[in-house]
Amino acid sequence: MIRWGLTALWIGVLVWPIWARDIQVEDKAFREVREVVRQLQARYEKTKDLQADFSQKTKIEGFDRPIMSSGKVYIKKPGRLRWDYLDPASEQIYVNQDDVKVYVPEHKQVLVGKLTQMAASKAPLELLQGAAKLDESFEIEPTMGTARGVGGIPLITLTPKGKEHEANQNLQKIVVEVFPKTYFIRTVSLHEISGNVAVFEFSNLKPNLGLGNEVFDFNAPPDTEVVRAPVLNGS
């Protein structure tokens, strides 16, 4: 009994520094991520509008080659967003608070629905629209592993809360990378339970240009068919 007690004590002495070090490392990681989130939210709170280019790479589970696309995104407070796919095909997404219109010129159709009920593939829209209030919609934690973003800044892992999680049931997590110094969002990686991963990279950011409402107002051509799409409105 005495021998076992001494052995247990010795094991405890050996293990304690390792366990304590792990806790310290974990605490440091959370502190770093909280600071990145604080800087990111402060940046977007000061941003009245934003224009940027984006590229998207989507890796579909079971397919060797990713799907590539690119375009422009426009953001304006409060709650206005426009997302234009320009290559390889044209598609325009207009967001006004919770109302969404998706215009597909090739099909001469505009799909209408609600942002809170959109498919997981449209999650960057809600993320960019609410970048100043991440902690209200997401659980925030450090990204597993040793990978960091440009400038050595920690990556942020976001898990949707409550209704956001219900609306994006296939969405496992979102990993966010920010630019050094400015703390604008540089990349958004969507990880789906199915194994699909979509990575959005932003560049040529231009904040506070004074974008007018006309940039975000969609005027449908006369021959456009309006469709309330089940994939967007949940009906």
Q: What is the pTM of this model?
A: 0.79
CATH number of 29-233: 2.50.20.10
Give the per-residue pLDDT at 162. Answer: 67
Spatial CA neighbour of 129 closest among 139, 114, 144: 114
Q: Which residues does 53 contact at the CB level (< 8 Å), separation at least 6?
A: 70, 71, 72, 73, 202, 203, 204
Which ranges constitute the DSSP H helices of 46-161?
A: 123-129, 134-137
Give the domain ranges of the chain.
29-233
Spatial distance between the Cα atoms of 100 and 82, rounded to a whole number of angstroms: 10
Residue 88, preceding peptide bond in cis (omega within 30° of 0): yes
Spatial distance between the Cα atoms of 82 and 93, rounded to a whole number of angstroms: 6
Question: Do 232 and 113 form a contact (C-beta atoms < 8 A)?
Answer: yes
Q: Tell me if residue 130 falls in helix, strand or coil.
A: coil
Walking along the chain (235 residues) 10 residues at a time, the average pLDDT comes out as 44 42 62 89 88 93 89 89 91 87 89 70 64 77 82 89 59 90 91 89 95 92 82 44
Give the per-residue pLDDT at 129. Answer: 67
Give the per-residue pLDDT at 78. Answer: 84
Q: Which residues does 47 contact at the CB level (< 8 Å), separation at least 6?
A: 75, 77, 207, 208
Give the per-residue pLDDT at 95. Answer: 87
